[in-house]
Structure 1
Amino acid sequence: MWSSHPRALPFLFFSEMWERFGYYLMIGIFTLYLKDVKTGYGMTEAEAADLYGTFIALVFLTPFLGGLLADRYFGYRKSIIAGGLMMGLGYCLMAIHNTAMLYTSMSLVIVGNGFFKPNISTLLGNVYSTPQHVQQKDEGYNIFYMGINVGAFICNFFGAALYIMLGWGYAFIAAGVGMFIGVIVFLVGTSHYAAYDIKKGVKEGDMSITRITLLILLPSVLAGIVGWMLPGSIFGSDSTDAFIFACLPVLYFYGSLYRKAAPEEKRPIAALLAIFAVVIMFWAVFKQNGSALTTWADRYTDRSLDGTTATVFDQLSLAQTIPFKKDSVALYDQQFRLQKENGIVLTEFNYHPYFRNLPAEKTPAEGSSIKVWATNLSQSINPGWVIILTPLIVALFTWMRKRNAEPSTATKIAWGLFISGLSALVMVGAVYASSNGAEKAGMWWLVASYGVITLGELFLSPMGLSIVSKLSPPHITSLMMGGWFVSTSIGNKLSGVLATMWDNYSDKANYFWLNFALLMAAAAMCFAMLKWLNRIMKEKGL
């Protein structure tokens, strides 16, 4: 696969694979853990979605700062190593069931990702900057992206087995161990990319780190505090208000990069800022895999197992046993959530929520139980599709390139938005097939939806990393890579905002129609800009 590629690629591939193993193991069980009323935090759907959205938003906001510091001061390798160690420690600390420790561990992951994520992507771009490899850059990013998803695929099986057998804490520790392995792999491959770890320094006219701190970071913190403390909630919750307010100085900073850029740099920066804006909608829908789509898998998908399949899953510790009996702990009904929100907790007798929309012929007798596959395994469907489809996409574009018919990177992104929108239509079909959730939907609806959005993802996400590497002025490449992650961050937060609305839609089809409309609008905007974007890329000789 990578015999013709730089020797650095396998090491960066496996470093990122293990880093994503840790991250997606953690994120795959995060909302389930938050909503677990027995050994988790007993949050409601809206509470968990809001915290999830804020968390993954901040995880992808800090690359702005991590990229800047690596570009100018620390270099890429030191930043990647420091970020990986912080993330590994953060995952391990999540094993401690304590609210203060939860927020401490989340903070370590947020800051650590800021140093790791933009800089390993930038380092990969630098490796492909040589004349013999520059034409392989898109292909290299596709292969690198498959490494991300190999880690994301296998991690959920480890996570399910560990939290079923031993509890949530052991699953979080496994995420930390995966991250530490990624750091070790990165260190082993140092000799293959040391020459590409070149600090750009501060260019004349660039804002100093002191000015950035005083004019961008400090205002962001203060604006976030103001947003949090405002009476009521403007955008749905205090955390959302705080996040939006905190983003304003960062957005101002990226605007200032365009205003102060040299004339030959203005158009490429403008093109990147335009792409950052339209892909926000993709992340807003895509990142619902850890919130709304996990809820769909948990409550509305038929996860029952029987026969040999049940035996195999049980032996691999990937099956959960759900008893059909009244639970005196009384933590399952929506009424409990309403009472909790009012500050009142009453003991009730209820069945596990999985049985609410189970067909009568599949409902077990009182006192018996059924086996179901662990909910977080649904998180492996998307990376599984990536592993299957990536070689096909790479082969397609290689074939088209040999015939001078390969679409531009910007064109790929536009088609990625359009294709992703079609995945929402699949979920509309799932809602109708399940009579709006009154019955369980087959798991193949979820598999199909993930398959469609994965195809769109492969046209968009690795191409986004590639186009940033291609169009960015050399002295701010990692900073502009941070800008890609700022747009991801905003989209991630919007995904949480959308997921908090899940319980407000009595007709779940309308929820997915909203997702469809958002992605179609973004695709239309991107197609409208294509001539302009492609002209800028031609000016750069791309």
Structure 2
Amino acid sequence: MKKTRNHPVALPFLFLSEMWERFGFYLILGIFQLYLTDTAKGGWGMDRATAADIFGTFIAFVYLTPFLGGLIADRKLGYSKSIIIGGILMGIGYIGLSVHNLTVFYSSLALICIGNGFFKPNISTLLGNVYNDDQYRSRKDTGYNIFYMGINIGAFICNFFAAFLRNSIGWGAAFIAAGIGMFLGVIIFSIGLKHYKHADVRKPVQDGDMPLSKIFSIVFLPAIVVGLGAWFIPGNIFGSDSTDAFIFACIPILLFFVSLLVKADTKDRRPMAALLSIFAVSIVFWAVFKQNGTALTTWAQYYTDREIPAVIDQPAQKLYLVESVMNKPDSITAYDQEFRIIRDAAGKPVKVWAKPVYFNNMAPEKMPAEGQSISLFNTELFQSINPFFVITLTPLIVLLFALLRKRNKEPSTPTKIAMGLLISALSTLMMVGAVYVCSNGTIKASPWWLIGCYGIITVGELFLSPMGLSLVSKLSPARITSLMMGGWFLATSIGNKLSGILATLWDTYDNKANYFLVNFLLLGGAAAVIFLMLRWLNRIFKEHVH
């Protein structure tokens, strides 16, 4: 018996399942580079470029596997079973990262990548399906925005858990907490199964659909072979073995999507072309946005004034949410002027007798007396700024679009995406300003520059990311909805890898303003392209969305 309600009863279960899954995932991302580069408290002691390359490759494969996971769910497993399998694999992977062994480390990353492939596209598709009932269809965009807010509640709270656990116990405890969060999400999803059982319908194979076995043989097998071949090519073409392998492995998959477009009938070809065009420009957004875990983490760690205001110092210390640094010499890892680890001939970090690196670019008037300590915000807490803005701004954005809808002035979904790219481009100029104000890192910048950057790009994100998921659900031919959702995540994957490539170049820019200007040009160019396509995209949108 149907009840009159604004949103389906399935929404809170999917909301909470995704919230706890993202709690684990973003906890990992918030401390990933810090853990890889740490030399003092049990981290891996890698250089920043290597850490950025691993980070970019990991988050790339995390979003590449949904292509496969969406396909298997569409044809074989169904969405609910795929989500549960994926959640369990990710939970095991998160906990595995607590083991300080390189083989276990990479195996755990692989489990997370595979698990996310089963979980991520299918919970998004299931959400879209429950909104396909006539009474909810008009609120699909709002539903995705609410769902996206759930993602960011998990992303917001996780960094406080990470700071508390790594300060009070160690890195391993933080990784175990991520796994517990993931398993909690699986339990909540399982409890709510009855509310989305009707939406968990596998699509029948139709004439012209490629059999799953054929997709494996002509897409994934070539991708694996080509990727492995690129890995073992002597030297590097694109900077590292992992980058070579990833880029070449993507080629057969990209060709597969092109073949889907070419073979589609007239009815499906135009909406598919529109989707693929939006996928292409969204790559640039993710290439810049995902630098929050690399370049912006570096900026927060070494270039930002992280000193805690006296009024909250004592409570924060009691909650283990602070790092304490003492202004006196000690045996520490040596850093150069660019805050890169200095290594000996064997590649091991050099130890020197000096003050903590935080004081290297501290303004003289803020320097504590010799022997005194100051309390600093943990670097990963800056990763909670973006989800905080998502949580606070989402209701305002939803309200804005609701008011515009009442006046029949709501922008189309493609227009929202175009506006999101343009707004995001402006965020990089905030960091250009930060570089000039702090004399290119000679002194520390105010944290408000980073907060402002995150605030602006969050508005762009809210216009683009949930709208992208919604657009796939609206325009995709019904039998390949999950597959096209996988295409959206493939675009995200490529952008994520590019973010890692861009971040590896951080140390090659003497003037960090130029680094951020490159990001501005990338986003500005992508915005220009989509605005040029906007009339065509809106025409297709009106033709296929009712």
Same fold (TM over 0.5): yes
Q: What letter corresponds to residue 130 of structure 2 in structure 1? A: V
1:134 corresponds to which of 137, 141, 145: 137
Distance across 2 between alignment mates of 1:295 and 1:429: 17
Distance across 1 between alignment mates of 2:169 and 2:545: 56
Contact 1:464 1:484 in 2 (8 A): yes
Query: Alignment partner of 2:323: what SS?
Result: strand
2:317 corresponds to which of 314, 328, 336: 314
Query: Alignment partner of 1:298: what SS?
Result: helix
Distance across 2 between alignment mates of 1:213 and 1:331: 49
Alignment partner, residue 452 of structure 1? 456
2:355 corresponds to which of 351, 357, 365: 351
1:143 and 2:168 matched: no
Query: Alignment partner of 2:420: what SS?
Result: helix
Q: What letter corresponds to residue 487 of structure 2 in structure 1? A: G
Distance across 2 between alignment mates of 1:271 and 1:341: 53
Q: Which moved more, 1:351-360 or 1:411-420?
A: 351-360
Query: Alignment partner of 2:237: what SS?
Result: coil
Alignment partner, residue 7 of structure 1? 9
Alignment partner, residue 374 of structure 2? 370
Contact 1:332 1:352 in 2 (8 A): no
Alignment partner, residue 361 of structure 1? 365
Query: What is the root-mean-square deviation in Å for CA atoms of aligned residues?
Result: 1.5
Distance across 2 between alignment mates of 1:151 and 1:503: 32
Alpha-carbon distance change, 486 to 335 in structure 1, aligned in 2, over 3 angstroms:
closer
- Number of corresponding residues: 541
Alignment partner, residue 249 of structure 1? 252
Q: Which moved more, 1:334-343 or 1:126-135?
A: 334-343
Q: What letter corresponds to residue 452 of structure 1 in structure 2? A: I
Aligned pairs (5 A) from 1:18-417: 18-38=20-40, 39-333=42-336, 337-340=341-344, 343=347, 346-417=350-421
Q: What letter corresponds to residue 412 of structure 1 in structure 2? A: K
Aligned pairs (5 A) from 1:433-444: 433-444=437-448
Distance across 2 between alignment mates of 1:439 and 1:63: 43
Q: CA deviation at 1:330?
A: 3.2
Alpha-carbon distance change, 303 to 17 in structure 1, aligned in 2, over 3 angstroms:
same
Q: Percent identity?
A: 60
Alpha-carbon distance change, 344 to 222 in structure 1, aligned in 2, over 3 angstroms:
same
Query: Alignment partner of 2:445: what SS?
Result: coil
Alignment partner, residue 529 of structure 1? 533
Alpha-carbon distance change, 479 to 166 in structure 1, aligned in 2, over 3 angstroms:
same
Alpha-carbon distance change, 405 to 345 in structure 1, aligned in 2, over 3 angstroms:
closer
Q: CA deviation at 1:306?
A: 4.3
Distance across 1 between alignment mates of 2:91 and 2:6: 33
Runs ≥4 residues deviating over 6 A: none
Distance across 1 between alignment mates of 2:45 and 2:32: 12
Q: What letter corresponds to residue 232 of structure 2 in structure 1? A: M
Q: CA deviation at 1:211?
A: 1.3
Q: TM-score, normalised by structure 1?
A: 0.98
Q: CA deviation at 1:343?
A: 3.3
Q: CA deviation at 1:308?
A: 2.3
**Any unmatched runs of 5+ in structure 1?**
none
Alpha-carbon distance change, 359 to 177 in structure 1, aligned in 2, over 3 angstroms:
same
Query: Alignment partner of 2:328: what SS?
Result: coil
Alpha-carbon distance change, 395 to 236 in structure 1, aligned in 2, over 3 angstroms:
same
Q: CA deviation at 1:347?
A: 3.7
Alignment partner, residue 519 of structure 2? 515
Distance across 2 between alignment mates of 1:366 and 1:225: 55
Query: Alignment partner of 1:305: what SS?
Result: coil
Q: What letter corresponds to residue 529 of structure 1 in structure 2? A: M
Query: Alignment partner of 1:233: what SS?
Result: coil
Distance across 2 between alignment mates of 1:51 and 1:490: 14
Q: What letter corresponds to residue 163 of structure 2 in structure 1? A: A
Q: CA deviation at 1:348?
A: 2.5
Contact 1:282 1:519 in 2 (8 A): yes
Q: What letter corresponds to residue 407 of structure 1 in structure 2? A: P
Distance across 1 between alignment mates of 2:459 and 2:117: 27
